[in-house]
Amino acid sequence: MNAALSRLDARRAEAAEQFRTLGVPHRRVEAWKYSDLRAVTDAEAISKAGSAQWTIKHGSEGVEFVDLSGGSLPDWVRTHLGTLKSDSALGAASFAFAHSGFALRVPRGKPGEVRVSFASAGQARVLIVLEECASLNYVETVPSDLEGLQNIGMEIRVGDNAHFTHARTALASAKAVQISDIAGTVARNGSYRLYSGAFGAELSRLELKLSLDGEGAEAHLAGVGVLADGTHSDVTTHIVHAAGNTQSTQLFKNVAGGKSRAIYQGKITVAKGANGSDSRQTAKALLLGPRAEADLKPELEIFADDVKCAHGAAVGDLDVDSLFYLRARGIPEAEARNLLIRAFLEEAVEEIANDDIRAALWQAVEDALPRAMESHP
Amino acid sequence: MNMLEIKDLHVAVDGKEILKGLSLTVNAGEVHAIMGPNGSGKSTLSYVLAGRAGYEITSGSVTYNGEDLNALAPEERAAKGVFLAMQYPVEIPGVTTMTFLKTALNAQRRARGESDLDALNVLKRVREKAGTLKVSEEMLKRALNVGFSGGEKKRLEILQMALFEPKLAILDETDSGLDIDALKLVAEGVNTLRSPERAMLVITHYQRLLNYIVPDRVHVLSAGRIIREGGKELAHELEAKGYEQIVKDAA
């Protein structure tokens, strides 16, 4: 036990060292080109950010729950915690410095349902393990009244034939710097699904690095962003097709109003030997005003031969032909714009199979749209 | 009072004059055909009447039931009974056809001070018209015009015309891209909407459509002006002689 504990301590020390070496990312670091974290915080603030408060509901039987701030940790937590790393210094920081967080394990063949809210500034670490044939609906919220720096690091292990649905809604918090860093692995025939609603912060970054490590593993990511004046949202994903016959899709739609900035960076790596892999990526942004900005950056890295990769990105204004068509049929301009913006976003929400999750995310979109559509000179 | 009165209309697009002194009068109950070669200004006329941005009236006037049409936004024209069946109906992913029909119908009703119809009531009205136009339930559930064939798009345009019950219907090249069966179906749909209160402006390149929608008057448009007018027989003369000869004769 002491040996295991010391291995955990060693990993933590390593993460602190990694954070020290990498430093706080800034716009000259390619992956952070559009999100200058150094302009809004520094290394000391991050290392001393303290604990983020969270609340959790995990009603389902069979889901094991461990508070990481407690004294003794079970073996499975000590074995896994800190072993999945993202590419980011912030992921290292949340592991090195967070004294708060939790671990969840869904045992073999069991379904689970968990609701989490990260309600305050500070850091937290989350470890989630889905054993073989387990499934989990994980519903995560960041509330709208957040202020200060929040850095949440997540590690996700999806076992053989296990299925993880991750619904994440980060409501608009113009006074917060909100970072979520997720590292994950999906085993044979397992799946990870992300449904993200990002409504912006002073600086907001959702970074996901997911490795499809088992044959037949799948990752499906869909996200909407609705940004009002003065907010920023960066979603950066990296899917690694490490095994053959793996599939991934990424569909991200952003609507940027006022002076706001919407970013999607989507990297796909297909490793050598990962033949039969299939990945599709679509990223689109609508700019509602002359001062709104969108940056979409697809990136493909392919080392295998027999693969399918398709990607497309487009930034624009509402289609003038569509707008005229609707108005010519009697729909007033404001209502027609509204209809077209909703239609644009809906594609990324409609495929959510769970009715409650879909309805909740759509409600957040409806709530955010009026402010995003306000006109700013 | 004439329903539509166009007087010496000059219209420019991107600073280039397309309509150069067009005059036309249409009364309730009449069907007028506007025929002309490509580039004569047919589509410009239809867009000007519907109120599309970028079509600038530099001189002349368009009066609709005594009102200056140019002063109205497209949605106001629609609520007052102007309907343009478009040559290229747009595809709008994410908005189902039924949602669109309900939104448009209720927007028009609201603008006229009428109450909204509930979904069931709209559905009933749509179904009444959909059968004869062969617009299937499945089409109504799909996103507006997305993946529809050319014929399906045009049938849906006519379905809208039946649903909105306009006073002035403008059909812009409704025959383009249709095979003969689809053309007959669309023409039948239009013919059932002929009424003493309703006027129609049928814009077409070919005489073919006018075999099925028989006009009261035919106008030949060339280089932005009406160069000949006549009864339905003028369409046959055009078909026999071709535009080039008619333009020469008129010069």
* pLDDT level of residue A1 (50, 70, 90 thresholds): very low
- Structure-token pair, residue A1: 């036990």
Helix (H) or strand (E) holding A26: none
Q: What is the CATH number of domain B4-250?
A: 3.40.50.300
Which residues in chain B are contacts of A324 at CB distance < 8 A?
50, 52-53, 74
Instruction: Indicate the number of domains in chain A.
Output: 1
Domain boundaries defined on chain B = 4-250
Give the global pTM.
0.89
Q: Do A335 and B111 touch (CB under 8 A)?
A: no
Contact A125, A150 (CB under 8 A): no
pLDDT digits (tens, 9 = 90+) for A164-209: 999 999 999 999 999 999 999 999 999 999 999 999 999 999 999 9
pLDDT(B122) > 50: yes
Q: Which residues of B touch A321 (CB under 8 A)?
A: 90
CB A203 within 8 A of CB A232: yes
pLDDT at B250 over 90: no
CA distances from A367 to A78, A139, B156 (A): 41, 19, 33
Structure tokens that stand for B146 in this block: 């997305």
**Quick one: pLDDT band at residue A376, thresholds 50, 70, 90?**
low
Enclosing domain of residue A71 = 2-373
| pLDDT at position B200 over 50 | yes
pLDDT 10s digits, A299-356: 999 999 899 999 898 998 899 999 999 999 999 999 999 999 999 999 899 889 899 9
Cβ atoms of residues A42 and A25 within 8 Å = no
Residue-wise pLDDT for A204-263, tens only, equals 999 999 999 999 999 999 999 999 999 999 999 999 999 999 999 999 999 999 999 999
* Continuous H helices in chain A: 2-22, 43-47, 75-80, 89-97, 320-328, 333-346, 355-373
Residue in A264, A181, A271, A254 with CA at minimum distance from that of residue A217 = A271
pLDDT at position B131? 87
Q: What are phi and psi of B156, to 5 degrees?
A: -70, -35
Put simply, the answer to whether B52 touches A328 (Cβ < 8 Å) is yes
pLDDT digits (tens, 9 = 90+) for A277-287: 999 999 999 99
Interface with chain A: mutation pick from B90, B116, B146, highest number of A CBs within 10 Å: B90
**Chain segment A84-123, per-residue pLDDT in tens:** 988 899 999 999 999 899 999 999 999 999 999 999 999 9
Using left for φ > 0, alpha for ψ between -120 and 50, and beta otherwise, residue A200 falls in left
B64-77: pLDDT as tens digits: 999 999 999 999 99
Q: Do A329 and B94 touch (CB under 8 A)?
A: no
Residue pLDDT, tens place only, A3-60: 555 889 999 999 999 999 999 999 999 999 999 999 999 999 999 999 999 999 987 6
Residue B43 near residue B87, CB atoms below 8 Å: yes
Q: How far apart are CA A178 and CA A318, in angstroms?
A: 29
State which amino acid sits at residue B190.
V
ipTM of the complex: 0.96
